[in-house]
Structure 1
Amino acid sequence: GSKKEDKGKRKNKKAKRKEYAHRIWRWKFLEQLQATGIHMEQVCQSPLSIHYVLLGAPWTVLCHHAEILRIKMPLQAMPSQASNWSDNLMRKLGIWNPLYQEVPQTPQDYYTYPFQESELSRFLGSENPQTFFASTQRHKIVYEILEKTPFGHQRRGLFGIQQLLSQKVFHAAFPPHDVSPPFLLNQRQILFRYWAKWSKWRKYQPMYHIRRYFGEKIAFYFAWLGFYTAWLLPASVFGIVVFLSTFFGSSADVPTDEICNASLDYEMCPSCEDCPFWKLSTICEATGQLFDNKGIVIFSVFMSLWAVMFLENWKRKSARLAYQWDCLDSKEQPLPPFAVMAPLTSWDLITDQEEPDSPQKNDFLHIFVAASIVAAMVTAPRTCLPSSAPGVFNLWGKVLASLTAALFSFAVEMHKTQSKFEDALVWKVFVFHFVNIYSVPIYIAFFKGRFSGYPGHYGTFFGMQNENCINNSCLIELAQEMLVIMVGKQIFNTLKLQSWKHKHKLRSSRKRKKEKTSEILWEANYELLESQGLFQEYLEMVIQFGFITIFVASCPLAPLFALLNNWLEIRTDAQKFVCQYRRPMAEKAQNIGMWFFLLQFITHLAIISNAFLIAFTSNFLQRTYYKYAYAWDLHGYTNFTLAQAPGAFVAKYNHTCRYQAFREDDGQHSFTFWKLLAIRLAFIVVFEHLIFFLGWLNDLVGPDIPASVKIEEKQEHFVGKHTLADYKVTSSTLQALSLPPPLHPIRGGRHSEDSGHPCSTQPASPDDLPMSREQRSSESLHSEGSSEHWGGLPDQALSSSAAWRG
């Protein structure tokens, strides 16, 4: 009993010391935060002892940090441009577009330039501090301050809100969702009505509203997902045509008739040492030509070109979006841990300032150390565990050591920016998932049945006989595997979605009970789920892209299943971000990052895979060879593909039989086998070179960044340079430069993120209205302690009161 009491006392003392340290860190952090000029207000919800710290950045702080972060602000209004080419085409042709929808509060487009506090009066809307900075810009500024605020010795990593969150000093930090007066729609309500509702499944996504509310990083995900889904439509239609043509034409297949014909039935050799003899007609039902026919060649060529063209067009689409969203030439700030730990500084030519840097030899050193740790920890179980230890301990010891080594090696790496950190993480996790998910289809497509041997000399692997394919073609089995993955996965995701909705419904009912006494904004936002980012969403779509490109030769219906799944995916993800998640921190992004390079890798792999599938896995080439060498109508093709059992096998069993292979009577490969091998290799070379050449030609004709984007970027630079130089840009000047004439500036407005159709008659945005006390709350911190919860960092916006102005 005394031992338990001593253990309990030690545990209580440890908890009290931890709580005391957390209180000191929290006090120092808030003190340092207030010293930066941030306004704060602490609110306590007494029933649950939850403390909220509401933050607001005054005008002077916003202007100072906006210049440091080089945030682009509006200089001059410009003509809006419709961003959807299909909508433009239908408008020119006078055709009603069923995909178009009029979205309220569509913002205006502007020429922008990096903010300079000394030239404040030159920027549009600068006379109205409440609306000059967009909400996402205010969020970014305050979050940068939170990330760099110390609460101890910086060299020990005691700085930044992320460190406090990881130590549970605060429980959460988030900006709040929009609120507005009852007679106005706020941005969140607009996104729900015109984007997240299931009835909008066939409408264009309001991309610029998404970017305006969630930031560029999330907007790029939904832009890519919508673009990918739109491109799946022609692939699905073509796949359906190929499938139906083979479905109705399979009944006239001569080799199938020969296998099913009882008068031509062949006695087949056993498929293993202990297996019986069997009749070829028993596989009559499994020899349908739905997934192994000449149509798959056309479809494979189409899908290989489709993948190449899709990526090339997305590069141009993303470049235009990056320009329109003011992030084409954006530069990331170094991560605070890197800035503190970096051994040296270098001069940045873009910002004309010194910034932390790390020599390249340090990167190689980190990689070497990480690789050494991984190698040591993976081999440790083999050395430390005795050879007599049970297999389960050896197995799990290696697994845990590998996992620990991978996590530790990733922590050792020091990445300069957030995007580099995420790219490294994405690559490592994708490699693991690639091996885990694609291993079975790759085995069926390229290895099963390749090393089965022949009667009397069956191939084995570690004492086990290798499997063979039905009718010497594994394409049918691969098609079955694809159907299980594509259809089964979609059903599973639907069931998971219903379960998730049910759980959230229960959570919402509990939340409504709590909100009967109080409906304060920051409390309602805290009750929402924490956003998990975009990693799983991207990973799911990239894995799907691999299935419909790498193995599409086996299942022409795969793009159709992917299309149906993505229609659900877009609305499901939209509802999660709009209704169920706390508002995530808006982040800049120029594109979809490492995911694009993974898509390129998958596309190149798919071209090679489709070539090998057609050449080795399907029977297309050997059928084509038989047509030209023996009989165009394929009569006798079944007998052509069957070899006689070796003499030794016949003598042993006193029974003659046939097996599917191109071998001589002694079991050696026949001359036909070598001719077919040469044909297959030649087909692979021609197929790959043709697709890669067409992709290179497309890349040569259309640059990654469209010429129109380059021209518009130069126009924007010209307008910014001369506007700040007190040079009035007139219509005649722009016309001399082939620029469109500027629109009249909208005074009191701010930089718009949309290049869609302006709605000048719409009511003002909630962001353009004076903000109440509840609206100021846009970041929330929350941490769990033994007796209290901390929560709530508010919005970085200014209130309508003059007291909030610096």
Structure 2
Amino acid sequence: MSPTDSFNDDINDYNQHSSTGTGYLQQDQPEIDKQQQSKDSVFFRDGVRRIDFVLSYVDEKEGDRKQEEKRKIYEANLVKVGLELETEDKSESDDGKTYFVKIHAPWEVLATYADVLKIKVPFKANDIPDNKEIPMNWLSTPFRLPEHIMHPEPDYFTAPFNKSKSDFYLIDDKDTFFPPSTRNRIVYYILSRCSYVRDECVDRDKKGIKRLLNNGAYTAAFPLHDYFYLSLYRKYYGEKIGIYFAWLGFYTEMLLFAAVVGTLCFVYGLLTYDENEWSKEICREDIGGKIVMCPLCDKKCGYWKLNSTCNSSWQSHLFDNVGTVFFAIFMGIWVTLFLEFWKRRQARLEYEWDLVDFEEEQQQLQLRPEYETKCTNRKLNRITQPYLPITSKCARTCLSGATVIFWISLIIACIIGVIAYRLAVYAAFASIMKDSPTSQLHVVGPYITPQLATSVTASCINFIIIMILNLMYERVAIWITDMEIPKTHLEYENKLTVKMFLFQFVNYYSSCFYVAFFKGKFVGYPGNYAYMFGSKLRNEECDPGGCLIELTTQLVIVMTGKQVWGNIQEALVPWLMNWWGSRKARCHPESLYSRWEQDHDLQPFGQLGLFQEYLEMVIQFGFITLFVASFPLAPLLALFNNIIEVRVDAWKLTTQFRRPVAAKAHSIGAWEEILNGMAVLSVVTNAFIVAFTSDMIPRLVYMYAYQPDGQMNMKGYIDNSLSMFNISAIPLDNRPDDEENPPWFNSSITICRSVVFYFMTKRYFALRVSGLFFFIPYIQISSTSVLLLKLRDFSFFEQLNTSVIS
């Protein structure tokens, strides 16, 4: 049976059950002049029938009979199904050119389609005692609104609605029995299946409001905002948006604990600021002031003294200390707790929202109209459905994959370009700053080294490139997903989610991965330097204080810039567009600016509206988990952002966007698997950052293995951690020009120092093995925490017993 045949059966079923005539404005209802209505009225002119949906169109072409005919047939079919329509003439609208068709679903229609869609409704009050002993519930209790503010609704036993047994259900008032989300979902179900041609057997695919919107017959279709009813998001917007806010609220609650621990680690760095022995040695004139360092680039970089990095060494200690190791381990456990506790919260919501058997409902959803239109082939079997030939499907999938790979390659090319910028500009900064006594540039307060200047400018350029590529790729991702012709709406969302996330993952995190795991690892050593792809640009070295401070800088700029830009896009841009649109639309300020006109002038909440919200939060989740060992304050920044985000999203949905059609969802969908994957990856990345990027392991190795006379302190660490190279052994092509060397450099200086070591020396081998000794236990601790959490879950034992018995 095709979807069209199914809808025809729905119409016949309605006609068999309906006992009252329906149609356009009924004559027995008194009509009220528009000017006598409240501007926020959500009722027909009779003040009784609620407006469940609104269609709008502009009839600018008087001779366009074709579009007019489509609308006429379509609206007649809507009336035939049982909907009631009332049209506002363009002369009554504020702009003088837009028609509004208001739609009301009477009880008979709602009851019929609630039966068809198997919508669950209450039939008995829940008499099971509420179990207040929820594990770990005390952690989130302080962040929940009290009951006298929330006014929780009573709990009921529910069952799928059966129109023939309506007396079985708790129906106090037929007008309010179905919540607004259910009413507009039923109406949209009808709108998406109703035909707009006379002979439906000839043109089976010419149906649905989406096609009428695409071909311009209607300009908009939306349910109205009802600010008098607005209460629970799930009742108002449906479960799909409700589960998003539930997840965002839970994520924000859990962020508080990570933010507190991260802040304590940062405070520990501040309190131990004066105990930083290695920074003292760097800054001391008799130690760091006498250590001559090898040039960091060829020709244009001169020799320099170690004490020029005094400030960056102190700054690095704030984030690279013993607390960093503890925080990295804590975050490995936190991310596991977050995911496991969310699964429990989601399961509880699934039960409370009657979504336990939602998977069965999902299989009954209609095919996408685009799929039915483009797939003209049909399988001849018991259920005749359109299908896409395997050859066409493979070709479209290959083209889609190739496009994604091309764009990811484009990102990598841009990152390589930024790296080349770092190498080229570093020499310029070093040449400019060489006249300063300490090879630094004084800029209103702190000293800025060539490394810091290069890092900050490169991070800003990288952020701009990220934003530009995001804007371009979003359109490409939608285009290639449409080209694949997904079968259902769920399949469409999953395909788009994978494409967008893969791109955003590479786009946002590639520069951080470069700084964390590649920069300073392939530089060679004086006399045998490594160059970028055979060019004259020498690979970057890390600052003597390590690459961690540069990773922190990169993370702060990209993460903060992403959140600020996201809030501007979410809040400021829609507000400005609505303000400008309403300003242009008000041709007659003295006339009544009705509720449907106000909503019509708002921004449409497109199919990617909620998708973008999830994507923004998941990218943020990556920042606070993948690289959090380099910046313990990242959860705190994310917490502040999310506190604002919850309110901005609520304000935006209720005041700046048209009300979206309610939809059901029992989980956060594909995002859950993405979060699981990122959680596993974060354990590995943080272990690598502490083991191989941070200077924590080299310091511990020195303290326990290289400290003379068994003293447990860091005296002498700086001298021990630097390699020595004979200046005469450095090739002439690598040596700085004479004019680039500082005034204090002379021929009596024969040795320069470097942070790099010869490959496979005893020192190099000791550091790498020590890093592995940290990395492996860290992974084991995180894995054990996952197992213990699963063992605590009673359902795990049930699954285990079931599998053993089977």
Structure 2 CA distance, aligned partners of 1:404 and 1:531? 16
Q: Closer, same or farther in 2 for the Cα pair 1:702/1:646, shift >3 Å?
A: farther
Q: Which residue of 1 aligns with 2:677?
A: 601
Query: Unaligned 5+ residue runs, structure 2?
Result: 1-59, 410-464, 736-746, 799-806
How far 1:71 moved relative to its partner?
Answer: 0.5
Q: Which residue of 1 aligns with 2:47?
A: none
Q: Which residue of 2 aligns with 1:678?
A: 769
Greater Cα shift, 23-32 or 605-614: 23-32
Aligned to 2:512, which of 428, 435, 441?
441
Structure 1 CA distance, aligned partners of 2:573 and 2:403? 43
Structure 2 CA distance, aligned partners of 1:308 and 1:77? 37
Q: Closer, same or farther in 2 for the Cα pair 1:429/1:373, shift >3 Å?
A: closer
Q: Provide the secondary structure at the position in 2 that maps to 1:118.
A: helix
- The alignment status of 1:297 with 2:388, answered yes or no, reads no
Q: Provide the secondary structure at the position in 2 that maps to 1:103.
A: helix
Contact 2:234 2:241 in 1 (8 A): yes
How far 1:568 moved relative to its partner?
Answer: 0.9
Q: Which residue of 1 aligns with 2:208?
A: 160
- The alignment status of 1:74 with 2:74, answered yes or no, reads no
TM-score (norm 2): 0.72
Q: Provide the secondary structure at the position in 2 that maps to 1:53.
A: strand
Q: Which residue of 2 aligns with 1:335?
A: 367
- The alignment status of 1:315 with 2:343, answered yes or no, reads yes
Contact 2:125 2:156 in 1 (8 A): yes
Q: Closer, same or farther in 2 for the Cα pair 1:440/1:400, shift >3 Å?
A: closer
Greater Cα shift, 76-85 or 590-599: 76-85
- The alignment status of 1:268 with 2:293, answered yes or no, reads yes
- The alignment status of 1:177 with 2:257, answered yes or no, reads no
Q: Closer, same or farther in 2 for the Cα pair 1:278/1:662, shift >3 Å?
A: closer
How far 1:645 moved relative to its partner?
Answer: 1.2
Q: Closer, same or farther in 2 for the Cα pair 1:541/1:417, shift >3 Å?
A: same
Contact 1:374 1:406 in 2 (8 A): no
Structure 1 CA distance, aligned partners of 2:750 and 2:64? 84
Structure 1 CA distance, aligned partners of 2:236 and 2:721? 63
Contact 1:367 1:413 in 2 (8 A): no
Query: Unaligned 5+ residue runs, structure 1?
Result: 1-14, 180-185, 192-208, 348-353, 383-394, 708-806
Contact 2:520 2:539 in 1 (8 A): yes
Q: Provide the secondary structure at the position in 2 that maps to 1:74.
A: strand
Structure 2 CA distance, aligned partners of 1:210 and 1:149? 29
Q: Closer, same or farther in 2 for the Cα pair 1:469/1:416, shift >3 Å?
A: same
Q: Which residue of 2 aligns with 1:579?
A: 655
Higher relative contact order (CA 8 A, sep 6+): 1
Greater Cα shift, 312-321 or 250-259: 250-259
- The alignment status of 1:522 with 2:596, answered yes or no, reads yes
How far 1:465 moved relative to its partner?
Answer: 1.6
Contact 1:174 1:582 in 2 (8 A): yes
Greater Cα shift, 687-696 or 611-620: 687-696
Q: Which residue of 2 aligns with 1:370?
A: 397
Aligned to 1:543, which of 615, 619, 624?
619
How far 1:148 moved relative to its partner?
Answer: 1.1
**Percent identity for Structure 1 against Structure 2:** 34
Taking the TM superposition and a 5 Å limit, the aligned residue runs for 1:47-196 are: 48-79=96-127, 81=130, 99-100=145-146, 102-103=148-149, 106-125=152-171, 128-152=173-197, 157-178=205-226, 186-188=228-230, 191=231
- The alignment status of 1:470 with 2:543, answered yes or no, reads yes
Residue 178 of structure 1 aligns to which amino acid in structure 2? D
How far 1:51 moved relative to its partner?
Answer: 1.2
- What is the number of equivalent residue pairs in this alignment? 638
Contact 1:259 1:284 in 2 (8 A): yes
Residue 539 of structure 2 aligns to which amino acid in structure 1? N
Q: Provide the secondary structure at the position in 2 that maps to 1:465.
A: coil
Structure 2 CA distance, aligned partners of 1:253 and 1:527? 60
- The alignment status of 1:479 with 2:532, answered yes or no, reads no
Residue 344 of structure 2 aligns to which amino acid in structure 1? R
Structure 2 CA distance, aligned partners of 1:687 and 1:90? 26
Q: Provide the secondary structure at the position in 1 that maps to 2:121.
A: strand
Q: Closer, same or farther in 2 for the Cα pair 1:252/1:374, shift >3 Å?
A: closer
Q: Closer, same or farther in 2 for the Cα pair 1:490/1:60, shift >3 Å?
A: closer
Structure 1 CA distance, aligned partners of 2:347 and 2:336? 17
The superposition leaves residues 362-402 of structure 1 with CA deviations (integer Å, 9 ceiling, x where unpaired) of 6796244331466499999x9xxxxxxxxxxxx9xx99999
The superposition leaves residues 570-591 of structure 1 with CA deviations (integer Å, 9 ceiling, x where unpaired) of 1111111122222211110101
Q: Which residue of 2 aligns with 1:658?
A: 752
- The alignment status of 1:634 with 2:705, answered yes or no, reads no
Q: Provide the secondary structure at the position in 2 that maps to 1:113.
A: strand
TM-score (norm 1): 0.72
RMSD in angstroms over aligned alpha carbons?
Answer: 3.7
Contact 2:294 2:754 in 1 (8 A): no
Aligned to 2:266, which of 235, 240, 243?
243
Residue 244 of structure 2 aligns to which amino acid in structure 1? Y
Structure 2 CA distance, aligned partners of 1:659 and 1:343? 75
How far 1:307 moved relative to its partner?
Answer: 1.0
How far 1:658 moved relative to its partner?
Answer: 3.3
The superposition leaves residues 289-319 of structure 1 with CA deviations (integer Å, 9 ceiling, x where unpaired) of 1111111110011112111110111111011
Q: Closer, same or farther in 2 for the Cα pair 1:248/1:355, shift >3 Å?
A: farther
Residue 257 of structure 2 aligns to which amino acid in structure 1? P
Contact 1:453 1:459 in 2 (8 A): yes
- The alignment status of 1:561 with 2:676, answered yes or no, reads no
Q: Provide the secondary structure at the position in 2 that maps to 1:645.
A: strand
Structure 2 CA distance, aligned partners of 1:650 and 1:90? 61
Contact 2:224 2:595 in 1 (8 A): yes
Structure 2 CA distance, aligned partners of 1:53 and 1:344? 38
Greater Cα shift, 651-660 or 574-583: 651-660
Q: Provide the secondary structure at the position in 1 that maps to 2:221.
A: coil
Residue 270 of structure 1 aligns to which amino acid in structure 2? P
Q: Closer, same or farther in 2 for the Cα pair 1:473/1:414, shift >3 Å?
A: same
Residue 688 of structure 1 aligns to which amino acid in structure 2? I
The superposition leaves residues 3-25 of structure 1 with CA deviations (integer Å, 9 ceiling, x where unpaired) of xxxxxxxxxxxx97994432333
Q: Which residue of 1 aligns with 2:449?
A: none
Residue 636 of structure 1 aligns to which amino acid in structure 2? G
Q: Closer, same or farther in 2 for the Cα pair 1:528/1:405, shift >3 Å?
A: closer
Greater Cα shift, 140-149 or 653-662: 653-662
Residue 674 of structure 2 aligns to which amino acid in structure 1? L
Q: Which residue of 1 aligns with 2:422?
A: none
Contact 2:196 2:206 in 1 (8 A): yes
Structure 2 CA distance, aligned partners of 1:230 and 1:629? 43
Contact 1:176 1:583 in 2 (8 A): yes
Q: Closer, same or farther in 2 for the Cα pair 1:300/1:149, shift >3 Å?
A: same
Contact 1:305 1:691 in 2 (8 A): yes
Q: Which residue of 2 aligns with 1:762?
A: none
Structure 2 CA distance, aligned partners of 1:327 and 1:485? 38
Taking the TM superposition and a 5 Å limit, the aligned residue runs for 1:780-799 are: none
Greater Cα shift, 619-628 or 19-28: 19-28
- The alignment status of 1:698 with 2:789, answered yes or no, reads yes
Structure 1 CA distance, aligned partners of 2:157 and 2:184? 22
Residue 292 of structure 1 aligns to which amino acid in structure 2? D
Aligned to 2:234, which of 197, 211, 219?
211
Contact 1:448 1:474 in 2 (8 A): yes
Q: Provide the secondary structure at the position in 2 that maps to 1:290.
A: helix
Taking the TM superposition and a 5 Å limit, the aligned residue runs for 1:717-728 are: none
Contact 1:472 1:660 in 2 (8 A): no
Residue 659 of structure 1 aligns to which amino acid in structure 2? R
Contact 1:33 1:146 in 2 (8 A): yes
- The alignment status of 1:421 with 2:502, answered yes or no, reads no
How far 1:594 moved relative to its partner?
Answer: 1.4
How far 1:320 moved relative to its partner?
Answer: 0.8
